[in-house]
Amino acid sequence: MPVRSGGPRRRRMGAPIRGACVGAVLALMPSAVLSQTRGGFEGGPMPGGGRGGGGLGGAGFGIGIGAGIIGGVIAPMLRAPRPEADDAVEPQWPRRPAPTVARPDEAIPARPRPAREKAAVHAPSRPVRPPLAEAPRPDSRRTVKAAPATPPPLSPPRIERAEPARPPQPARKVTSPRPVLPPAAPPSTARGAPPPVPAARPVADEPGLVPGEVLVTLRLSAPRDAASGLARRAGLRLLASEGFTLVPVTLHRYAIRSGRSVASVLRTLEADPQVATAQPNHAYALVGGGAPALAGAQYAVGKLRLAEAQETATGRGIPVAVIDSGVDAAHPALAGALERSWDAIAKGAVPPGSAHAHGTAVAGLVGARGPLASPAPEARLLAIRAFTGPGEARPSGAQGTTVHVLRAVDWAAQAGARVVNMSFAGPADALLARFLAAGSARGTVYVAAGGNAGAEAPPLYPAADPSVIAVTATDAEDRLYRQANRGGHLCVAAPGADVLAAAPGGGYGLLSGTSMAAPAVAGIVAMLLQADPALTPAQVRDALMRGARDLGPPGPDPEYGAGLADARATLQAIGLPPPAAGTAEATARAVVAAPEPTAAETPPTPRP
């Protein structure tokens, strides 16, 4: 074996030299041989005196030269060892380990040209760094292996054929519950990203709903244990079941487990074959505003023409239910006016200390006696507490709920109320609509405040219910109360801005809002029913609208309804004759002579 210590370039130069030496020896060998046989090969005499022969010797010399040339070319090929991989081309290995692709499924750049071609054309002066690979997919990891210390064989580096880079998997699977991640995010980021909000996470319900509660009625064909079975199937907790008489139905109140939304649970319940109705437990609020100071007179008495009308009717003996907050039964203006009281929240007696400014004021505006004038001072008031006031515990996080109001309406029907005042507002409620329709069919007249949500607000309920007489508010100048709702459902208007009303603790104060206007109309309805007990709710509505004094555009309008309520004209609308001359003046003098409250008697009015 030749000694390979001079490097590849030196070894390539030594092979032709050795071949040339061998060729020279071969070229001299025929000359020596031919010189030994020159005589034997020389030719004899030829005709013409020349000597023939000698040509073989010249030919032998020529053969020797040719053999030497051929030997010089072939001998190196026969004697030189077979070249190894690193003898043919100078390698282009980088001076530091180069990364190679470890997994064939990773994204790689375009296929490079073979290393043999690149080395033959370009000889860079610095190591060639491999191009950076594209970002890996989020569901894989990229590993890098260092190149071996000794150069590998000359054959081009073997690169597995890879498919073109595909879009990241999360972005392609749009139906996956996991969030779509940026394509360049590393795997740890994809696994550590927060998951989407699960269905079990509590979500905010729409305003006007009791959070986490639903009301359900079952079909008559449902088994006796259907209420508990429904709770298990729908993931609910049965809070209470109670029956009603105005509408013969058993209402089941459920609490939603696992923090699901009311809307999602209602969709589940509506698909249950044993469920007749399912709805939210709506929240209602008392509608009324505060007042800045005391007033020296009751301007509503003259606006409503109460003095003239009370010569004919005072609401004597007509049961009028007031569904509101607690009423101060010990107030001087209500002495002897309250016939019964009931708590729709506790389903029993009204607890002590539950008197509230809103309920006390509304009850007095219907049928106050003594120092405070009212439309129906001889009516029988039924005070029903269905709303909690400031400082009191608020069940279900609201002032009043669908369940409380349904209990109050049902109890009022059992107590024989002919008129029901509802100075509260909230969303539409299917169950409440059924109760109101049933009560109206039995002859009960429902009066409600139109709402204080403003001119652009949608209609509020129960005022917008077709079974209800909706009342808006005006001030001493017959201007519309600025916060009053508008709408075609409004029937009439009544004084409701800065109205003098009774306050808890025996005092008086000013209150504003459609809540203060509705009880004035409820008192006028009591006067009508005293004059003609056979009137239907539809006839009462017609009498109120025909007796109203038109305000605003001619005819009924979305702001004032038919106009300002007029007690005297309303009584005349049902055919009653006007009162005798002089009686109205005496009544008016009695009203004006009533003692006016003083600042010392009037505590600050709580905010309704």
pLDDT per position as a tens digit, 316-351: 999 999 999 999 999 999 999 999 999 999 999 999
Of the chain, the percentage scoring pLDDT greater than 90 comes to 54
Q: Does 358 qualify as catalytic in the annotation? A: yes
Residue 551 pLDDT > 70: yes
293-316 pLDDT, tens per residue? 333 458 999 999 999 999 999 999
Q: How high is the pLDDT of residue 73?
A: 55
Q: How high is the pLDDT of residue 297?
A: 58
Cis peptide before 495 (omega within 30 of 0): no
With beta carbons less than 8 A apart as the criterion, state whether 127 and 96 touch. yes
To the question of domain 209-282 being in CATH 2.40.50.1020, the answer is no
Residue 92 pLDDT > 80: no
Rg (CA), the chain: 54
238-291 pLDDT, tens per residue? 999 999 999 999 999 999 998 899 999 999 999 999 999 999 999 998 876 544
Question: In the chain, how long is the greatest CA-to-CA distance?
Answer: 194
The residues facing 382 across adjacent strands are: 321, 340
Calpha distance 240→345 (Å, rounded): 13
With beta carbons less than 8 A apart as the criterion, state whether 418 and 381 touch. no
- Locate 496 and state its tokens: 């409701």
CATH topology of domain 295-573: Rossmann fold (3.40.50)
Residue 530 pLDDT > 60: yes
Residue 362 pLDDT > 70: yes
Q: Does 252 qualify as catalytic in the annotation? A: no
Residues 6+ apart with CB under 8 A from 259: 200, 201, 202, 203, 212
Domain residue spans of the chain? 209-282, 295-573
Residue 577 pLDDT > 90: no
Catalytic residue among 374, 396, 512, 515: 515
Q: Does 324 qualify as catalytic in the annotation? A: yes
Q: How high is the pLDDT of residue 576?
A: 84
With beta carbons less than 8 A apart as the criterion, state whether 383 and 356 touch. no
pTM tops 0.85, yes or no: no
Q: Which helix (H) or strand (E) holds 14?
A: helix 7-36
The helix/strand count (H/E) of the chain reads as 18, 19
Amino acid letter, residue 134: E
Q: How high is the pLDDT of residue 49?
A: 44
Residue 488 pLDDT > 90: yes
**Average predicted confidence (pLDDT) for the chain:** 74
- C-alpha 525: how far from chain center: 45
Cβ-count burial 364-383 (b if 16+ within 10 Å, e if not): bbbbbbbebbbbbbbbbbbb
Catalytic residue among 324, 328, 343, 465: 324
Catalytic residue among 282, 331, 356, 358: 358
Residue 420 pLDDT > 80: yes
